[in-house]
Structure 1
Amino acid sequence: MQQSELFHIAESWFHQQEWKPFPFQKETWKAFLQGKHGLLNAPTGSGKTYALWFPIVLNYIKNSPEYKTKHKKGLKAIWITPLRALSQEIKQSAERITQDLETKMTVGIRTGDTSTKERARQKTTMPDLLITTPESLQLLLSSKGYAKVFKDCSAIVIDEWHELLGTKRGVQMELGLSRLKTICTDLRIWGISATIGNLEQARSVLLGPTSKAHENSILIKAKLNKKITVKSIIPKQMETFPWRGHLGLHLLEDVIPIINKSKTTLLFTNTRSQCEIWFQKILEKHPEYAGEIAMHHGSINKETRLWVEQAIRNESLKAVVCTSSLDLGVDFAPVETVVQIGGPKGVARFLQRAGRSGHRPGKESVIHFLPTHAMELIEASAMQKAVRNAAVEDRIPYLNSFDVLVQYLTTLAVSDGFYPDAIYPEIKQTFCYQAISDEQWQWLLNFIVMGSQSLKTYDEYKKVEVEEDGKFKVNNRAIAMRHRFQIGTIVGDAVISVRYQKGVYIGSIEEYFISKLTPGDVFTFAGRNLEFIRIKGMQAHVRNSSKRTSKVPSWMGGRLSFSAQMSELLRQELYTAELDFKKQSKEIKSLAPMFTKQREESIIPKPNEFLIETFKSDDGYHHIFYPFEGRAIHEGMSSLLAYRISLLTPITCSLAFNDYGFELLSDKEIDIQEVLDNNLFTSEYMLSDLQKSLNSNEMAKRKFRDVAVISGMVFTGYPHKGIKMKHLQSSSQLLFDVFKDFEPDNLMYQQAFTETFEHQLEEGRLRLALERIAQQEIVWKKCQNPTPFSFPIITDRLREKLSNEKLADRIKRMTKILTR
């Protein structure tokens, strides 16, 4: 059958639905039928599913002229989705095509939710089209005779590739694809990605930078001119002193008319706790919404989430308060309006959420931006520009994730075994392992066979055997079973309980915060000043302290930090405050009272200026620095600076930071001139100073637990009988200490440090920020009182010490004094 005839089949189907195929859909069909690989860049709700299901089915029709009467069973295409929640949706689209075109093709799903009965059935007869997740694909590669199952597969589509890129699940996918390229006789690899900054690199990672697939590939962009309108909700009464902690609830009544005007509204919050609070408050103030409003976030059970998703489709809900659990996929036609509560911290996330409204080709997307404090209006203004210029972040891919590679090699050894000489060239073609050396490869092979150098006397680390012909194989059934239970790369962040030495329980904090403390550090928690003594298992032992200065815990959800792109946009927007009033956006204009107050005590920095403010209060001496680089960078920079100052003069500092700047609070004054004269903002010796300033050993120890779990050095337990986090921690801690003392060149041990600095502390971005500050003129303002810019940072610190009511009263008193 000629291409024109195949196109005619597809176009007639579109015509029957009263649709017209988009140019990008036709371009994808054509490239696919020519045997090309590719990456399709298309926004949510643009018809991307039909862009790839169609050519897969048309290709089958082309190769089976008698497709209506004779059907050859067997797997023909795989569709990978990062989210199980989307699989039902994708299946419906595929079935619509296969049934309407009268093929006998079957469509099946295989995820963690698939029943044992269905899996058993798939074992004997695979569906023609399989929808699965990265983890389930690896599980299929761990079953005997997998090559026969995949042999005739002609296509693999990786949906939402931007979500997998820059994660270890993405690396897992790269490895799976490297194997399928070899065993499938005629495979086409396609990725679908929303807009990201580094699309070309995304294609390289997907196909392998040096592979034949990359040479014969195409990047297709959907030019749909989707209109996105951002509407800021500007408070009628503007605060001169913005502070965090309202969660935006003071603007709740401004949201009600928006909800009433739309059929369905999604209200996006950044954290689960904020989601819960907004849901409660709307119902409390507007009981008439009972039964018409729901909540959706990752901690809610699956049944409820599915019910909410269905209710949105039926238009039976007026509003849903949600977190990023509804960012992706799930196809909601009726959602008219989206409200973003608080800064989304990244352009890509904001555009993704905006795209949930008007979720149909050609429809306008409307997103309302609700600031939780005045400074966020600068973010709102920056977002308007980002949307106009389509400026989106890059997703940075991982390199040399040896833990994922160890897991993969064990997977291959569990199924049919592998010959290193055959697998090594496949692995070298992936983006992640393009620079792997022969020595590293040899080390990894030794590691899966004997355990590492320092563990070779222990049998439990000897998983793989080398057979006479050189094949690497797992022959022990118990090892194979344990490995299959542990396939995956998602390791949760653990929670540590905080207790007094005598055992009285105070509460629990994410271990990320605790891991950075050194014994003797004081932090404030549950209204008490506590001195950190030690970590024992999954408990932090503390005692009361009379020291006034303190560190304040932060939680994972509240730690969403600005992306590099967002920080740059925010700085550019802030600089417009000094421009002619006519050239300012309405958001910046509305902040005029705050900027006027800021100028009374201090300045609004210009592009070539870096602002430092100092003042004294009852709490001590405040030293505030404004890099406007986002929370994650300020966390590293504040520790670095505090450490360098302590080398000049013995001083105890407590640190606080937000997305705009950071504060060092101390009981005696820091000589800022001395800081500048000694060039303490230099990027020289940054890495070694950073390692000393943060408890990098403890941070790497926590990171190592993930590495140990993924590589299978520690076992997480059987289903419904998981091993407690504290046991996992102590097992991995033992290994970490052994490697530290006896085998510091162990690749897994080294990887823990690399990931701590590159991914957690974003060392590269921190270096660029310091280099930028070195080029700026430093303006040091000695203030009498807190300024509007410093206010959110100071009030953040108070939140830990006071209950919400007391905090609100204290802030009202402070604001009253400052606005006299």
Structure 2
Amino acid sequence: MNRKELIHIAEDWFENQGWKPFKFQKDAWTAYLQKKNGLLNAPTGSGKTYALWVPIVLDYIRKNPDYKSRHQKGLKAIWITPLRALSVEIEQATSRFAEELGTNFSVGIRTGDTPQKERAAQKKAIPDLLITTPESLHLLLSSKNYAKTFKDLQAVVVDEWHELLGSKRGVQVELALSRLKQVAKDLRIWGISATIGNLQQAREVLLGPASPELENSVMIRANLNKKIDVRSIIPKKMEKFPWRGHLGIHLLDEVIPIIKESKTTLLFTNTRSQCEIWFQKILAKYPEFAGEIAMHHGSINKETRLWVEQAIRNESLKAVVCTSSLDLGVDFAPVETIVQIGGPKGVARFLQRAGRSGHQPGKVSLIYFMPTHAIELIEASALQKAVAKKAVEDRVPYLMSFDVLVQYLNTLAVSDGFYPKDIFPEIASTFCFQGITEDEWRWILNFITKGSQSLQAYDEYKKVEIEEDGKFKIHNRGVAMRHRLQIGTIVSDAMLSVKYITGGYIGTIEEWFISKLKPGDVFTFAGRNLELVRIKNMQVLVKRSKKKTARIPSWQGGRMTFSAQMSELLREEMYEASQLKKTTKTSEELNALRPIFKRQQRESIIPGKDEFLIETFKTREGFHAIFYPFEGRFVHEALGSLLAYRISLLSPISFSLAFNDYGFELLSDQEIDMQQVLDNNLFSPEYLMDDLYKSLNATEMARRKFRDIAVIAGLVFTGYPNKLVKSKHLQSNSQLLFSVFRDYEEDNLLYQQAFRETFEHQLEEGRLRIALERIQQQQIVWKKCEKPTPFSFPIITDRLREKLSSEKLEDRIRKMLKQLEK
């Protein structure tokens, strides 16, 4: 059958469904059948699964004309997805097409949720298409004779590549692909990505720089003009001194009509804690929604999550309060409306969420933006423009992740073993390790066989043995089992199961939160008030509580910061606000903020394009100095520490630091000589790394980062499934190793990686440098204010939040507002 006839089969099938294939789908079919690799850039809900699954089946038909009567057994395609929740969707779509063409193709799922019985069945007869995650793919590479499993593999499709790209899971995919290219000689590799700023680089990372696959590749874009309608929920009364978290719940009554008027609404919150609060508050004020509203976040048990997803599909739920757990393509067409609660911190995330509504080609996506404090309306205004410009962020790929490399080499050693001379060129062909030197490679090989220079006396670190012919292999069954249990790069705090004392599993919660509670304390989880009875064997045993007040759990992953793109958009919006006159026509959001801007102008200024604002004032707490780079909280945390350190070199003074996405505060019991700060050019990017190192206690931050690296590299063992090692023990084990390397082996690559990742990923050193260079070009405007300004108020109140309970905080803020309004 020629290509034209094959494509005709697919077009006929589409016609039978009452569909018409898009140009991008047909382009992908043609490119695949021409044996090309590529990256497909397509939004969620546009039919991307069929763009790549259809040609895989057509290619099989071309090679097996008698496909209806004879079935060629064996694995033909792997579909890698970052989220287990997506696998069911992909399975349904792929099975349907394969079945209706009569190919006898079997489709299987292999993730952490796959039952042991099903895994055993897959081992005996592997499906034609395997839908899996990066971790489960590495588990397959750790099994004996894996080459036999993969030898007839024709295609690997990496779904949601933009999600994997900026993480170590992306590195896992790169390494797995480097191996599969050698094992399966007729392999085509495709990625599917939503829009990101660096699409060309994304393709290069997926296929490998300077690889034959990259040379024989295409970029296919789905130019579907998706219309996105962004509407802001604007409070009727605008307080002149905004503070975080205050507006959100106060606008609850504005959200209810939206929910009532839509078939189904998704309310996106930024954190799991916020998700729990909103769910509780809606039900408390509107009990008639009981049974019609649900909650969805990553810590709720799998059965509940799947039930919620199904209930959205069949429209039996009116609303779901959720987190990013529903960001990615869980495919349900009927969602009509999205409400984004609080700033999403990034353009791509906002567009992704907007795309969940009108989740069909040609439909308008409607998203409401609901600020949790007034100044977030500036973000809303910026997002309106970003949507119009289609301005989205880059995803920065990881480089030289030696911890992932160590894990991968152990994976190969656990299965059939490897010869370094064969594996080294494969590893060096990946984007992540394109710069690896012979010396670094030798160090890694020594590390897995001898346990690095300072650990040579301990046998537990000598995992890999070198056989007579030079093959690297793990023979010890205990080492092999522990390694397989720990494959993966997602390192979170130890998770404890939450169960009723009478039986019944509710979900998982982080150890660090539960460790602060004592028996009898009540906390809110999965929409219920639960009383802690006791903690036993990694299980939190609870019973229902009728108490009205309860602690809201918080998760370590709850801190989000502005992307660089979002910061830039926000600054542009702020500059526009500085030019506002009474008669100026502007966005609805900026218009609503006029009372705040007017008060800010009265007390201080709104900084323009070439201005950098510093405000100083005195309160009962001490002397406040507030700086406004508008760069996001992570950059502000680093910049605040850097400035505090540089000021202390001029005169001995100690500070407490507070920051949000807009600026940071240095609070002291003595006045800062601000003129001295300005005269000494303390915003210089010179000596940045040295000063950061000293100011931030970078060693402490690197020590915390090292825990994750030690877990990924297998230096510390996280425990068996029902007997996990406690978080504090993991921390102390990894800290001990960190101290050993610091004192005796400073050239240890994993030790050095901890510092590199701290600066590159946590402190965003690159962004910090650019911010300092920008401030150097701006005119610094220092305003000596009488009292806090509208811009400084959210930063001050955020610091109080750390010290006070929410009730006391509200009382305290009310008193402060009375003082300010005088």
TM range (shorter): over 0.9
Report the CA distance between 1:247 and its aligned residue: 5.8
Question: Aligned partners of 1:84, 1:183: CA distance in 2, in Å?
Answer: 26
Change (3 A) 1:780 1:495: farther
Aligned to 1:135: 135
Aligned to 2:372: 372
The one-character-per-residue Cα deviations of 1:443-470 (angstroms, maximum 9, x if unpaired) are 1111111110111121111111111111
Counterpart residue type for residue 747 of structure 1: L
The one-character-per-residue Cα deviations of 1:602-633 (angstroms, maximum 9, x if unpaired) are 00110000000001111111100000000000
Aligned to 1:710: 712
Would you say 1:667 and 2:659 are equivalent positions? no
Would you say 1:255 and 2:246 are equivalent positions? no
Aligned to 1:150: 150
Question: Aligned partners of 1:69, 1:586: CA distance in 2, in Å?
Answer: 64
Runs (5+) with no aligned partner, structure 1 = 497-506, 512-552
Q: Is the Cα contact below 8 Å between 1:620 and 1:667 reproduced in 2?
A: yes
User: 1:425-504, aligned counterparts within 5 Å?
Assistant: 425-493=425-493
Aligned to 1:312: 312
Aligned to 2:388: 388
Report the CA distance between 1:245 and its aligned residue: 2.6
User: 1:265-414, aligned counterparts within 5 Å?
Assistant: 265-414=265-414
CA RMSD of aligned residues (A): 1.7
Q: Is the Cα contact below 8 Å between 2:273 and 2:554 reproduced in 1?
A: no
Q: Is the Cα contact below 8 Å between 1:486 and 1:712 reproduced in 2?
A: yes
Question: Aligned partners of 2:477, 2:594: CA distance in 1, in Å?
Answer: 70
651, 667, 679: which one pairs with 2:653? Answer: 651
Change (3 A) 1:558 1:114: closer
Counterpart residue type for residue 264 of structure 1: T
Secondary structure of residue in 1 paired with 2:234 = coil
Aligned to 2:759: 757
Higher alpha-carbon deviation: 61-70 or 736-745: 736-745
Q: Is the Cα contact below 8 Å between 1:701 and 1:733 reproduced in 2?
A: yes
Counterpart residue type for residue 339 of structure 1: V
The one-character-per-residue Cα deviations of 1:230-278 (angstroms, maximum 9, x if unpaired) are 0001111111111113260111111111111100000011111111111
Higher alpha-carbon deviation: 481-490 or 571-580: 571-580
Aligned to 1:819: 821
594, 597, 619: which one pairs with 2:596? Answer: 594
581, 602, 609: which one pairs with 1:607? Answer: 609
Secondary structure of residue in 2 paired with 1:483 = helix
Would you say 1:171 and 2:171 are equivalent positions? yes
Higher alpha-carbon deviation: 312-321 or 113-122: 113-122
Aligned to 1:499: none
Question: Aligned partners of 1:128, 1:508: CA distance in 2, in Å?
Answer: 40
Q: Is the Cα contact below 8 Å between 1:270 and 1:557 reproduced in 2?
A: no
Question: Aligned partners of 1:224, 1:484: CA distance in 2, in Å?
Answer: 43
TM-score of the two chains, using structure 2 as the length reference? 0.92
Aligned to 2:180: 180
Secondary structure of residue in 2 paired with 1:248 = helix
The one-character-per-residue Cα deviations of 1:396-447 (angstroms, maximum 9, x if unpaired) are 0000000100110111111111111111111111000000001000111111
Question: Aligned partners of 2:758, 2:681: CA distance in 1, in Å?
Answer: 26
Report the CA distance between 1:727 and its aligned residue: 2.0
Question: Aligned partners of 1:3, 1:429: CA distance in 2, in Å?
Answer: 32
Question: Aligned partners of 1:665, 1:556: CA distance in 2, in Å?
Answer: 26
Counterpart residue type for residue 362 of structure 2: G
Question: Aligned partners of 2:762, 2:810: CA distance in 1, in Å?
Answer: 33
Question: Aligned partners of 1:566, 1:493: CA distance in 2, in Å?
Answer: 29
The one-character-per-residue Cα deviations of 1:627-660 (angstroms, maximum 9, x if unpaired) are 0000000000000000111111111211100000
Report the CA distance between 1:720 and its aligned residue: 1.2
Aligned to 1:791: 793
667, 678, 681: which one pairs with 1:679? Answer: 681
- Identity across matched positions, percent: 74
Change (3 A) 1:241 1:391: same
Question: Aligned partners of 2:363, 2:61: CA distance in 1, in Å?
Answer: 33
Q: Is the Cα contact below 8 Å between 1:247 and 1:342 reproduced in 2?
A: no
Aligned to 2:565: 565
Counterpart residue type for residue 624 of structure 1: I
Q: Is the Cα contact below 8 Å between 1:559 and 1:631 reproduced in 2?
A: no
Higher alpha-carbon deviation: 32-41 or 799-808: 799-808
TM-score of the two chains, using structure 1 as the length reference? 0.92
Report the CA distance between 1:493 and its aligned residue: 3.9
The one-character-per-residue Cα deviations of 1:71-109 (angstroms, maximum 9, x if unpaired) are 110000000011111111100001101111011111111
Q: Is the Cα contact below 8 Å between 1:495 and 1:509 reproduced in 2?
A: no
Secondary structure of residue in 2 paired with 1:413 = helix
Aligned to 1:538: none
Aligned to 1:75: 75
Secondary structure of residue in 2 paired with 1:400 = coil
Change (3 A) 1:696 1:194: same
Question: Aligned partners of 1:800, 1:634: CA distance in 2, in Å?
Answer: 17
Counterpart residue type for residue 105 of structure 1: F
User: 1:90-105, aligned counterparts within 5 Å?
Assistant: 90-105=90-105
758, 777, 780: which one pairs with 1:778? Answer: 780
Aligned to 2:112: 112
Change (3 A) 1:592 1:247: closer
Question: Aligned partners of 2:240, 2:495: CA distance in 1, in Å?
Answer: 38
Runs (5+) with no aligned partner, structure 2 = 497-509, 515-552
Q: Is the Cα contact below 8 Å between 2:493 and 2:512 reproduced in 1?
A: no
Question: Aligned partners of 2:795, 2:165: CA distance in 1, in Å?
Answer: 33
Aligned to 2:520: none
Higher alpha-carbon deviation: 246-255 or 211-220: 246-255
Change (3 A) 1:181 1:163: same
Would you say 1:722 and 2:724 are equivalent positions? yes
Q: Is the Cα contact below 8 Å between 2:628 and 2:662 reproduced in 1?
A: yes
Question: Aligned partners of 2:806, 2:433: CA distance in 1, in Å?
Answer: 50
Report the CA distance between 1:742 and its aligned residue: 1.0
Q: Is the Cα contact below 8 Å between 2:111 and 2:136 reproduced in 1?
A: yes
Q: Is the Cα contact below 8 Å between 1:493 and 1:510 reproduced in 2?
A: no
Report the CA distance between 1:576 and its aligned residue: 0.9
Question: Aligned partners of 1:439, 1:247: CA distance in 2, in Å?
Answer: 57
Aligned to 1:60: 60
Higher alpha-carbon deviation: 580-589 or 130-139: 580-589
Question: Aligned partners of 2:332, 2:162: CA distance in 1, in Å?
Answer: 21
Higher alpha-carbon deviation: 464-473 or 145-154: 464-473
How many residues align? The count is 770
Change (3 A) 1:293 1:554: closer
Report the CA distance between 1:52 and its aligned residue: 0.7
Change (3 A) 1:557 1:245: farther
Q: Is the Cα contact below 8 Å between 1:76 and 1:152 reproduced in 2?
A: yes
Question: Aligned partners of 1:421, 1:751: CA distance in 2, in Å?
Answer: 25
Question: Aligned partners of 1:554, 1:108: CA distance in 2, in Å?
Answer: 36
Question: Aligned partners of 1:282, 1:363: CA distance in 2, in Å?
Answer: 29
